A and B are shown apart, each in its own frame.
Chain A
């Protein structure tokens, strides 16, 4: 986990410094060279890059101390440093407790968890039903829907949902709200959550359905299933106890990385539905060359990815007792 994250910081640091321009040399914002030089000196942007990287990692990001509460920073202290764009705020402040709508990270996390639940909740049952009714109409329809689901990019699906909601609105039918985030009540929260979560989760559910079907079909032809039937177990016991548990193993292995990949794609869904999550910071942070914010956003996603992979390893061992950690 640590080496991966370390690599991520090194590569991100190198990559973002390769983007032409800097936080204080953006076009359309004239600034006298002297002032710019002062700014850069205060944030140590005039130092050689390796020194800046070390400052970012171990701290002492700003040592002139003109601005209040800009003490010692450093990633090792879980401090993501000061923002260049949001003057006077730190990245931790921007991402984790950002004022109006609570924390951006918590909004994204709620959306992500909800979408994951949808993906798994629809995908696995659909896959199992298709597999158990292999080569019937149910199977064909289910798999065609899954194929369509895999083939529609999720932001396109979001746009389609928006179009249908607008159509409902035009005909004075009840429709879900299209943008922003609800915090007033549970119903308000749910009504704002449902469309983005469905958009984000449906591609995943289609993929999981295909995977589950394939996996169940493979397990169901194994000898131990025949043995279970032969010794007179009821069909339900064969399906639930023998087939499902074993066929979920390959599904779990790909689930982690895939989920994480979908969740990193969530920023575009957040853009489409104007959800105040961390996604919206990513593109603007690059246009602003807000280095610490770029690093912060990527790190949040990278931690998520690594965490998902660990979670998968654990559940893998849980599902398949033959696997043990040394």
Chain B
């Protein structure tokens, strides 16, 4: 008897808890799962550090506003600050003869500090990674949305074009595009890189969005929305888009390492941001020319580039597991 009462009591409490437990949105749920993934958390922190270091390497914006020379902030030296007393110095933890910050990653043949240049180089990689995926997202999204929502003959035609684009040797076309856009300094160089890479890499995203839209638009809730008289625009923005956001975010994150790698490849063959501004690929090229004499000029940029790509890959993997637990452990 008392046992039955206890069970009933427990049941009641359980059902109360079920109803009083704060409702958890998909995003909060995913966030919790992501935080439980150790590799992703470490990668996320690493990425935040790189981005922060790249942005606050010097007081760029303040100096620009005050119209004066920039001063290094987080980076111990400026990216073109030469030190002719210490050219081609090996990495050391000892302060320089003048009492400056130690060249912990050594210096290159002009005596520029490799550590500072790696921090500055992060600006190029991160900018290309972030803005490149923005371009791909906007373009791929628009293309895939139209194709997937309209379906039918338009869809067949548009996807045929994507197939043809896949037949292009992408990297070679980016190189050709870089020559067309020309080499310029500063922001223009990064803009050209982003445009060049973005213009030939949106196809994967458009295929993904199209696939999502094609399957979602047959679902009951879309039918219901249409029945109560929702217009096309609101069906797309209120129903189709939010429901395909998860895979899109995952694809964007997993696409960033590819963009960073393409940028590094282009910089390596001399088509990226023109010197003296550093990028990791360009530093690798300089190191490659001095591979016998100064291995540290290759080692540190290579390590940084690989670690950054590794971090984005781990974060992307974690995001995918978090947003879509069914996909766990798959590609």
Query: What is the interface residue range for chain B against chain A?
Result: 35 or more
Bound Cα distance from A8 to B173, whole angstroms? 10
Bound Cα distance from A305 to B164, whole angstroms? 11
Which of B168, B287, B295, B309 is in CB contact (< 8 Å) with A11?
B168
Q: Please judge, given known A-B contacts A19-B179, A153-B264, whether A301 and B291 are in contact too, CB under 8 Å.
A: no
Most buried by B among A152, A160, A166, A302: A152
Q: Please judge, given known A-B contacts A8-B168, A298-B169, A306-B167, whether A283 and B175 are in contact too, CB under 8 Å.
A: yes
Asked whether B119 is an interface residue with its Cβ less than 8 Å from the other chain, the reply is no
- Asked whether, in the complex, the Cβ of B269 is within 8 Å of the Cβ of A264, the reply is no
In the complex, chain B residues whose CB is within 8 Å of the CB of A302: 167-169
- Asked whether, in the complex, the Cβ of B292 is within 8 Å of the Cβ of A166, the reply is yes
In the complex, chain B residues whose CB is within 8 Å of the CB of A260: 169
Binds B, one of A44-52, A88-96, A265-273: A265-273
In the complex, chain A residues whose CB is within 8 Å of the CB of B173: 11, 15, 298
- Asked whether, in the complex, the Cβ of A214 is within 8 Å of the Cβ of B330, the reply is yes
Binds B, one of A32-40, A70-78, A143-151, A189-197: A143-151
Bound Cα distance from A177 to B16, whole angstroms? 73
In the complex, chain A residues whose CB is within 8 Å of the CB of B299: 163
The smallest C-beta distance from A267 to any residue of chain B, in angstroms, reads 8
The smallest C-beta distance from A152 to any residue of chain B, in angstroms, reads 5
Q: Please judge, given known A-B contacts A264-B171, A272-B288, whether A166 and B295 are in contact too, CB under 8 Å.
A: yes
- Asked whether, in the complex, the Cβ of B306 is within 8 Å of the Cβ of A151, the reply is yes
Which of A147, A155, A298 is in CB contact (< 8 Å) with B310?
A147
The smallest C-beta distance from B28 to any residue of chain A, in angstroms, reads 27
Asked whether A12 is an interface residue with its Cβ less than 8 Å from the other chain, the reply is yes
In the complex, chain B residues whose CB is within 8 Å of the CB of A163: 291, 295, 298-299
Asked whether B62 is an interface residue with its Cβ less than 8 Å from the other chain, the reply is no
Residue of chain B at shortest CB distance from A260: B169
The smallest C-beta distance from A174 to any residue of chain B, in angstroms, reads 18
In the complex, chain B residues whose CB is within 8 Å of the CB of A83: none
Interface string of B155-182 (1 = CB under 8 A from A): 0000000011011111111011101101
Query: What is the interface residue range for chain A against chain B?
Result: 35 or more
Asked whether A217 is an interface residue with its Cβ less than 8 Å from the other chain, the reply is yes
- Asked whether, in the complex, the Cβ of B170 is within 8 Å of the Cβ of A159, the reply is no
The smallest C-beta distance from A193 to any residue of chain B, in angstroms, reads 20
In the complex, chain A residues whose CB is within 8 Å of the CB of B167: 4-5, 7-8, 302, 305-306, 309
- Asked whether, in the complex, the Cβ of A264 is within 8 Å of the Cβ of B170, the reply is yes
Asked whether A20 is an interface residue with its Cβ less than 8 Å from the other chain, the reply is yes
Which of A4, A150, A257 is in CB contact (< 8 Å) with B313?
A150
The smallest C-beta distance from B129 to any residue of chain A, in angstroms, reads 13
The smallest C-beta distance from B206 to any residue of chain A, in angstroms, reads 15
Asked whether A294 is an interface residue with its Cβ less than 8 Å from the other chain, the reply is yes
In the complex, chain A residues whose CB is within 8 Å of the CB of B295: 163, 166-167
Bound Cα distance from A40 to B291, whole angstroms? 43
In the complex, chain B residues whose CB is within 8 Å of the CB of A162: 291
In the complex, chain A residues whose CB is within 8 Å of the CB of B179: 19, 286
- Asked whether, in the complex, the Cβ of A151 is within 8 Å of the Cβ of B166, the reply is no
Bound Cα distance from A297 to B310, whole angstroms? 32
The smallest C-beta distance from A109 to any residue of chain B, in angstroms, reads 15
- Asked whether, in the complex, the Cβ of B172 is within 8 Å of the Cβ of A152, the reply is no
Asked whether B5 is an interface residue with its Cβ less than 8 Å from the other chain, the reply is no
Asked whether B268 is an interface residue with its Cβ less than 8 Å from the other chain, the reply is yes
Bound Cα distance from A155 to B268, whole angstroms? 9
Bound Cα distance from A73 to B330, whole angstroms? 51
Bound Cα distance from A283 to B178, whole angstroms? 11
Bound Cα distance from A215 to B284, whole angstroms? 36
The smallest C-beta distance from B255 to any residue of chain A, in angstroms, reads 13
In the complex, chain A residues whose CB is within 8 Å of the CB of B287: 159
- Asked whether, in the complex, the Cβ of A19 is within 8 Å of the Cβ of B180, the reply is yes
Which of A7, A8, A18, A282 is in CB contact (< 8 Å) with B175?
A282
In the complex, chain B residues whose CB is within 8 Å of the CB of A255: none
The smallest C-beta distance from B50 to any residue of chain A, in angstroms, reads 14
Q: Please judge, given known A-B contacts A19-B176, A265-B265, A271-B269, whether A159 and B284 are in contact too, CB under 8 Å.
A: yes
Residue of chain A at shortest CB distance from B167: A4
Bound Cα distance from A302 to B169, whole angstroms? 6
Interface string of B295-331 (1 = CB under 8 A from A): 1001100100110011001100100000000000111
A-contacting residues, B1-52, CB 8 Å: none
Q: Please judge, given known A-B contacts A15-B177, A155-B265, A286-B175, whether A160 and B168 are in contact too, CB under 8 Å.
A: no
Asked whether A225 is an interface residue with its Cβ less than 8 Å from the other chain, the reply is no
Bound Cα distance from A6 to B268, whole angstroms? 31
- Asked whether, in the complex, the Cβ of B291 is within 8 Å of the Cβ of A16, the reply is no
Interface string of B181-215 (1 = CB under 8 A from A): 01000000000000000000000000000000000
Residues of A within 8 A of B (CB): 3-5, 7-8, 11-12, 15-16, 18-20, 134, 147-148, 150-153, 155-156, 159-160, 162-163, 166-167, 210-211, 214-215, 217-218, 257, 260-261, 264-265, 267-268, 271-272, 282-283, 286, 294, 297-298, 301-302, 305-306, 309
Given A4-B163, A147-B310, A302-B169, 15 more A-B residue pairs with CB atoms under 8 Å apart are A11-B173, A20-B180, A134-B329, A147-B317, A152-B309, A156-B264, A160-B298, A163-B298, A217-B330, A260-B169, A265-B171, A268-B269, A271-B269, A283-B269, A302-B167
**Could you name 26 residue pairs across A and B whose Cβ atoms are closer than 8 Å?**
A4-B167, A5-B167, A8-B168, A11-B168, A19-B179, A19-B180, A20-B182, A147-B310, A147-B313, A147-B314, A150-B257, A151-B310, A152-B306, A153-B265, A159-B288, A159-B291, A159-B298, A211-B331, A215-B331, A217-B329, A267-B171, A267-B172, A283-B269, A302-B167, A302-B169, A309-B166
Which 10 interchain pairs have the tightest Cβ spacing?
Answer: A301-B169, A151-B310, A4-B167, A214-B330, A151-B309, A264-B169, A214-B331, A153-B261, A19-B179, A152-B306
